[in-house]
Amino acid sequence: MAAHPIRLAVADDDLRRSRLTVFFRVLLFLPHLVWALLWLVAVYVVAIINWFVTLFSGTPADWAHRFLSRYLRYWVHILAFLLVAANPFPGFTGRPGSYPVDIEIDPRARQYRWATGFRWILWYPALALYTPLGVLGSSNSYSSSPGTAVIAGILGWWSALIRGRMPQGLRNLIVYGLGYGAQTFGYGVFLLTDRFPNSDPYAVPAVAEEHDHPVQTVVTDDTRRWQVHVAFRYFTALPHFFWLGIWAWYVVPLLVVINWFVMLFRGRTVPFFQDFFAFFLRYTTHLAAYLTILADPFPGFMGRPGSYPIDLVVPPLVRQSRWRIGFRIVLAIPALLLASALSGVLSAVATLGWFAAVFTARMPVGLRNLGVFVLRYVQQTLAYSFYLVTEVYPYSGPAAGPPPPPPAPPRDWPRGEPVPGWPPAPAASDAAAATPSEPRAPGGPPPPPEPPPAPPA
């Protein structure tokens, strides 16, 4: 797939931060806020003119495209500075390449006029996803909650103030949210492109980095969905609700407390507890993937490894530091706050994915991968904080993603019946990666290369 016309560009960053500028970050941001609001008056006028020009001519005005690109880039610069995703004080002009967290915007191109006329309607799904993911957040008459990028920025502010360093995972999560926001507003408000925003966190090379956390997801889903099954998803899941309630209300809390005391005095758990929590983590992963349309098959009740298209790899029993076990809940508070914010993103993914699957029999790959990323982080947080399966802190950034799904069979073939010659045989170079017994987890190491053939005699 061709690169998106609005792309993230992140310069090499050693993640070190000046504690002095971090402490006064909000005060340093105020001049930029005043300038951005003054600039916004002209942006409103230019955006309206550009909409009419694009609607009647099919191409945005060149001067408007350049002006709006500068403003969008400027907002990315100052938000990256405010949320501690970058360290230097940004300029006031939004000049390309002038800041460590930047966006590249392609020159203007012809756009479909029908899509331009209904852009605000077409824009709504992207805005609904950006609301919990970016800096907007959600609010009503009773409460309000900031977006995930804001929560990550607050946590990063504390970390940079105490340690003088921004955690890589938080930086990458903030940058990913800013990049998706730039695509969202560049598409829906400024008409810089008619390409819909791409929510796939694994498609952003600037933030999708290898990370070897012991708790990882394994994806073998092909994004096809049975529309009737999706439409009645929550009704079909009723048996799982009863089954989960029995475990979650009566069994799991008791075992969590017992396991905490056992590990506090022994430094490691017993195999029974490790196996039980591994089962429960896998089972809740399967059920959550099913409920949020990240996978299609009806999940089993026993959380068997390798039994579901969205699976979880749980590490074996290892010894842990008893000091960290004793203060585990306190140490896990930042991860729990971020997981709570990301749960709103997962709800938006489930809602948008439900509509997409009902009408198209497909789960969009970007939504699926974003949901898998959120689910992976939530399960890493639970494995670390309550179940004590690992003492490795949850990694909040997008990791290197799953392999692309196989191509779909002909759509007119009856569901459930074998298609002659389907699925296509993998190429020789992909045979090892396509072996079902060795799926690759996002962020996990690639399979070992095949040994070279012996030289001819």
Does residue 433 form part of some domain?
no
Q: Is residue 101 within 8 Å of 77, Cβ to Cβ?
A: yes
DSSP run (H or E) holding 266 = helix 252-266
Picking from 69, 74, 68, the residue whose alpha carbon sits closest to that of residue 43 is 68
Q: Give the C-alpha separation, 201 to 170, whole Å.
A: 14
Q: Give the C-alpha separation, 62 to 171, whole Å.
A: 34
- pLDDT of the residue at 397: 87
Q: Is residue 298 within 8 Å of 236, Cβ to Cβ?
A: yes
Task: Name every residue whose Cβ is closer than 8 Å to that of residue 242 and which is 6 or more positions away in sequence.
Answer: none
Measured at the CA of 76, the angle between CA 3 and CA 36, to 5 degrees, comes to: 140
Does residue 1 form part of some domain?
no
Task: Name every residue whose Cβ is closer than 8 Å to that of residue 99 and which is 6 or more positions away in sequence.
Answer: 76, 77, 80, 86, 88, 90, 91
Could you tell me if 175 and 223 lie in one domain? no
Q: Is residue 303 within 8 Å of 286, Cβ to Cβ?
A: yes
Could you tell me if 227 and 184 lie in one domain? no
Could you tell me if 180 and 301 lie in one domain? no
Residues in the chain: 457
Could you tell me if 54 and 136 lie in one domain? yes
pLDDT tens digits, residue range 37-54? 999 999 999 999 999 999
Does residue 389 form part of some domain?
yes
Could you tell me if 82 and 222 lie in one domain? no
- pLDDT of the residue at 456: 52
Domain boundary pick from 357, 381, 404? 404
Does residue 45 form part of some domain?
yes
Picking from 200, 401, 368, 379, the residue whose alpha carbon sits closest to that of residue 293 is 368
Q: Give the C-alpha separation, 312 to 158, whole Å.
A: 31
Q: Give the C-alpha separation, 277 to 279, whole Å.
A: 5
Q: Is residue 374 within 8 Å of 342, Cβ to Cβ?
A: yes
Does residue 422 form part of some domain?
no
Please list the rounded mean pLDDT of every run of 10 residues in the chain (457 residues).
Answer: 88 89 96 95 95 94 96 96 95 93 94 91 94 77 76 96 94 94 95 94 78 89 92 94 90 94 90 93 96 95 92 90 92 96 94 96 94 96 94 86 47 44 39 38 49 53
Could you tell me if 257 and 329 lie in one domain? yes
Q: Is residue 421 within 8 Å of 427, Cβ to Cβ?
A: no
User: What are residue 16's DSSP bridge partners?
Assistant: 165
Does residue 428 form part of some domain?
no
Residue 350 CB burial class (10 angstroms; 0-12, 13-18, ≥19)? middle
Does residue 435 form part of some domain?
no
Could you tell me if 275 and 178 lie in one domain? no
Q: Is residue 115 within 8 Å of 54, Cβ to Cβ?
A: no
Could you tell me if 225 and 339 lie in one domain? yes
Q: Is the dihedral of CA 251, 254, 256, 261 positive or negative?
A: negative
User: What are residue 102's DSSP bridge partners?
Assistant: 9
Q: Give the C-alpha separation, 373 to 288, whole Å.
A: 13
Q: Give the C-alpha separation, 185 to 43, whole Å.
A: 12
Q: What sections of 361-448 are H helices per DSSP? A: 365-385
Could you tell me if 184 and 242 lie in one domain? no
Does residue 413 form part of some domain?
no
Domain boundary pick from 381, 404, 427? 404
Could you tell me if 176 and 225 lie in one domain? no
Q: Cβ–Cβ contacts within 10 Å for residue 420, how many?
A: 5
Q: Is residue 201 within 8 Å of 373, Cβ to Cβ?
A: yes
For 217, phi then psi, to 5°, come to: -95, 150
Q: Is the dihedral of CA 201, 207, 211, 214 positive or negative?
A: negative
163 alpha carbon, distance to own chain's centre: 26
Task: Name every residue whose Cβ is closer than 8 Å to that of residue 199 and which is 6 or more positions away in sequence.
Answer: 126, 129, 180, 364, 366, 367, 369, 370
- Strands (E) across 227-291 are located at none
pLDDT tens digits, residue range 371-393? 999 999 999 999 999 999 999 99
Could you tell me if 161 and 263 lie in one domain? no
Tokens 């009566």 label which residue?
250
Q: Give the C-alpha separation, 268 to 418, whole Å.
A: 48
**Cis status, amide bond into 423, omega within 30 of 0:** yes
Is this prediction's pTM over 0.75?
Answer: yes
Q: Is residue 98 within 8 Å of 119, Cβ to Cβ?
A: no
Domain count, the chain: 2
Q: Could you list the residue range(s) of the whole structural domain that residue 244 is in? A: 216-404
Number of helical (H) and strand (E) elements in the chain, helices listed first? 16, 6
Q: What is the DSSP letter of 195?
A: S
Residue 450 CB burial class (10 angstroms; 0-12, 13-18, ≥19)? exposed
Domain boundary pick from 136, 167, 198? 198
Could you tell me if 254 and 136 lie in one domain? no
